[in-house]
């Protein structure tokens, strides 16, 4: 265990005993949803992981330490922190650790913490990726490079649909990142189940996924794996309608001069407003679905590597 990490006793015991653990990010708490919905969602995700027999490990930086697993007080602190909580990717982790500024971890930073702690499976909502218009803005998420170098499986509902999905998949292919579709041949588009874009391999159960993870890492092929897990049909939104909403949100962002790491939180809030809250409801449903799948995968992988 790295000396910058502070796991909870529950997480430390599970890791020492080889029991399944699922990493969870914290930007969904501090930057992804309004209070108190963010706190309710964070608690529900942890409960969903426990219900499947795994241990949840929500990751954040607090008081100069990478916390792997958070108690109720820490979750509340992040949920109420607002702009006082730093959004942390790879480049920001050293700053938060050195200065003591509280920080919520993105996909990239959560992957780093999970790898340091020895956690193989991480559940999130959607990946960051290549932003629309990146050919002029050069706005590409650090999540993609992290997937190329850090050996953690990321369970997600595809990449955020506000992104350029074809370009995002091209970058992942170039980086050698396997994109496995759970019960699907298509890469899901976050709020909707279909994008028209193929995954690199379809898996129909988590045991097959676990076997692929073990084969990849046993070969010394460092780097992550994406498990694309479509939003449940009952919670999915119409893809065409969401595309119109996204285009409106992007125009709003441009009009307000929003750029960099502020883009995604702005767009998510704009979509919630434009869709009358339906996008937030779908977001919560897909994240919970990913947490359940990740817990099942973590159990399958733990059994395979015991």
The binding site for Mn(2+) consists of: 139
2 with 117: CB under 8 angstroms? Answer: yes
**How many CB atoms neighbour CB 39 within 10 A?**
17
Is the bond preceding residue 198 a cis peptide, omega within 30 degrees?
no
Nearest to 241 by CA among 204, 179, 177, 189: 189
Place of tokens 């969401």: 242
3-class SS of residue 200: coil
Contact criterion met (CB below 8 Å) for 155 and 294: yes
Annotated binding-site ranges:
87, 107, 139, 141-143
**Which pair of tokens denotes residue 230?**
């479509």
φ/ψ of residue 55, rounded to 5: -105, 125
Active site residues: 25, 160
Work out the number of other CB atoms within 10 angstroms of the CB of residue 118.
15
Give the tokens for residue 124: 């999130």
Annotated binding site for substrate: 87, 107, 141-143
Q: Identify which of 243, 273, 269 has the alpha carbon closest to the alpha carbon of residue 258.
A: 269
Torsion from C-alpha of 29, 42, 193, 21, nearest 10 degrees: 120
């Amino acid at each position: 265990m790295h000396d910058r990490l502070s796991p909870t006793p529950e997480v430390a015991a599970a890791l020492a005993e080889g029991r399944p653990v699922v990493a969870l990010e914290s930007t969904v708490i501090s930057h992804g949803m309004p209070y108190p919905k963010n706190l309710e969602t964070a608690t529900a995700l942890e409960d969903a992981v426990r219900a499947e027999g795994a241990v949840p490990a929500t990751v954040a930086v607090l008081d100069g330490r990478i916390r792997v697993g958070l108690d109720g007080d820490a979750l509340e602190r992040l949920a109420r922190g607002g702009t006082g909580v730093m959004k942390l990717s790879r480049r920001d982790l050293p700053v938060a650790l050195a200065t003591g500024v509280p920080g919520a971890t993105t996909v990239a930073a959560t992957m780093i913490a999970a790898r340091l702690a020895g956690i193989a499976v991480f559940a999130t909502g959607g990946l960051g990726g290549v932003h629309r218009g990146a050919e002029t803005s050069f706005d590409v998420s650090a999540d993609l490079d992290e997937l190329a170098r850090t050996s953690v499986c990321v369970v997600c509902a595809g990449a955020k649909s506000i992104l350029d999905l074809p370009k995002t998949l091209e970058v992942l292919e170039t980086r050698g990142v396997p994109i496995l579709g759970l019960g699907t041949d298509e890469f899901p588009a976050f709020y909707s189940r279909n994008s028209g874009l193929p995954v690199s391999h379809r898996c129909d159960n988590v045991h097959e996924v676990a076997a692929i993870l073990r084969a990849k890492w046993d070969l010394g092929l460092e780097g992550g794996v994406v498990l694309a897990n479509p939003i449940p049909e009952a919670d999915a939104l119409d893809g065409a309608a969401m595309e119109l909403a996204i285009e409106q949100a992007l125009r709003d962002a441009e009009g307000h001069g929003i750029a960099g790491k502020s883009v995604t939180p702005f767009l998510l809030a704009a979509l919630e407003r434009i869709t009358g809250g339906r996008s937030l409801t779908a977001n919560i449903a897909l994240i919970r679905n990913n947490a359940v799948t990740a817990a099942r995968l973590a159990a399958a992988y733990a059994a395979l590597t015991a």
